[in-house]
Amino acid sequence: MRFVLCPRFYISILLFSIFSCFSQSTKETETPNIVIIMADDIGFSDIGCYGGEIETPNIDFLANGGMRFSTFYNMAKCNPTRSSLLTGLYNGGNGAVHLAHLTKQAGYTNIMSGKEHFDSWVPDYCKAEYVFDKSFQFWATTEYFLPPSGAFERPFYLNGSELAANEIEHTRSPMYKTDFITDYALKWLEDTFENQNPFFLYLPYHAAHYPLQARPEDIAKYRGTYRKGWDTLRQERFKRMQRMKILPENAKLSPAQGNLNTSRGPLIPSYTDYYPWESLSEAQQDSLDLEMAVYAGIIDRMDQNIGRVLDKLRQSGKLENTLILFLVDNGACPFYTNKIKDVQPGPSNSYWSLRSTWANLSNTPFRQYKQAGHEGGSRTPFIAYWQNKINPGTISAQPGHVVDIAPTLLEILQTQYPDSIDGHASLKLHGRSLLPIFKGEQREQPDYFISGLDKFRMFRKGDYKIVRLNGGSWELYNLKEDPTELNNLAVTFPEKLGQLKKDYHDLEPQMK
């Protein structure tokens, strides 16, 4: 039997093809929703997908479905990292453009919930209440449980207006900061789903900055995990990192160390010097196990809340077209303090911070800590997740920096960088787009990277890096041959040292 196809059939096929091509084209050019999640004072190896024993299944989901960077830099401390991340500048002033200025210009709804902490050079017009449609924020350090004990209390703000503790919306009691930060984010996400605008969510958690306070069930989950001690756990983490290939094959585990500068702050020598774990009594080991279990519990709780955000995106059908970036503001903090005596870490009336020997574990396999330009202070886990755009389970060794995020978003948004902002000529961005790396390509590496506080500054150009400790002599490292900075080449290659010092000093005025 012979079938004759009528003209309507061909017309239907043609229209279907045109519609399909149009839909595909629209999908490919559709700008994504953007979520940036920042953790606080967490070491390079703490989270599961970077080698840690802390359970972070939701962050691991982003890593397994996206790209992990093995070399990504922050500014080694809370406020300079946030300042550089959100403006794309190592330093600036009037003319700085906030990321949310860019997304607002592209038609996004902007949401922030979490910690705000800037350097003095960041203009007032970049503060949360001026750039986000909805914002819940606090400045620098506050306690996790509310109402606060009063040891170190700072106010919270809702859309720029001060908010008392009993006015904060929350879904669970007792109130815990990581949970209610997420509560606000989820509430406002729901609102954006209704208006159909693309959204930019900035979610800077306080975890795991001191004080060491965590929900009892989160602490109990890790109690006993750290009785092995920092020596054994550093070895275990290092081996996992090697198996994961998150480190280059020639990377070596740096020697165990205590504090980077024992004259700084309210430090107790017996808590800041390095001791072999086996030299401690069982009572000491048990107390130290509790300290690290609380720290792990804080990170676990943050991951649980990241899971709440991911669930919201899945349920709304938004996850597929959302770019999610996860990073940390600096390496683990070694500056032990305890403002409330005779109270163990964990509950709302405690005020402990992590000590340097545990921070040394957190920063495995690198040297030094928060504030330092050495890799232990300046290198962050960095994960980029974007379905159908970034190949899942990839690891990139190409170096990047937080100043690269602004030009990355600018390219993704397909919008123009403004010529002026708040009556000032816009400052030129210092970074370079990461989008080629996301696509699996080789990008042209920026001319240099900068991190660390002034007296602890690092300057990297190509494979070589200079760095100093507390205003001391510059050290020189070849990071390709010596990723964990074990071989100071300053005496061996004085010409290379001198050239990098000159290159940095030529840029130094813009860092002041």
pLDDT band at residue 196, thresholds of 50, 70 and 90? confident
Domain residue spans of the chain: 30-444, 457-512
The answer, yes or no, to whether residue 149 has pLDDT greater than 70, is: no
CATH number of 30-444: 3.40.720.10
Q: pLDDT of 407-453, one tens digit each?
A: 999 999 999 999 999 999 999 999 999 999 999 999 999 999 999 99
Average pLDDT over residues 116-138: 96
Average pLDDT, the chain: 90
Task: Give yes or no on whether 30-444 and 457-512 have one common fold.
Answer: no
Percent of the chain with pLDDT over 70: 90
pLDDT at position 195, please? 86
pLDDT at position 15, please? 41
Q: Greater confidence, 345 or 10?
A: 345
The answer, yes or no, to whether residue 281 has pLDDT greater than 90, is: yes
Sign of CA dihedral 60, 65, 68, 73: negative
Is the pTM value of this prediction over 0.75? yes
Classify residue 219 by burial, with Cβ atoms within 10 Å: 0-12, 13-18, 19+: buried
Helix (H) or strand (E) holding 102: helix 99-105
Give the residue among 226, 231, 223, 238 at the shortest CA–CA distance from 278: 231
pLDDT at position 153, please? 64
The answer, yes or no, to whether residue 461 has pLDDT greater than 90, is: yes
Start-to-end Cα distance in the chain: 86
Average pLDDT over residues 399-410: 98
Residue type, 77: K
> 112 in helix, strand or coil?
strand
In this structure, of 196-200, 261-265, 271-275, the range with the lowest mean pLDDT score is 261-265
> 220 in helix, strand or coil?
helix
Q: Greater confidence, 196 or 457?
A: 457
Residue the block writes with tokens 């720290």: 295
SS (H, E, C) 266-305: CCCHHHHCCCCHHHCCHHHHHHHHHHHHHHHHHHHHHHHH
Helix 405-413, helix 78-87: angle, nearest 10: 30
CATH classification of 457-512 is 3.30.1120.10, yes or no?
Answer: yes
pLDDT band at residue 142, thresholds of 50, 70 and 90? confident
Helix 282-316, helix 57-64: angle, nearest 10: 60
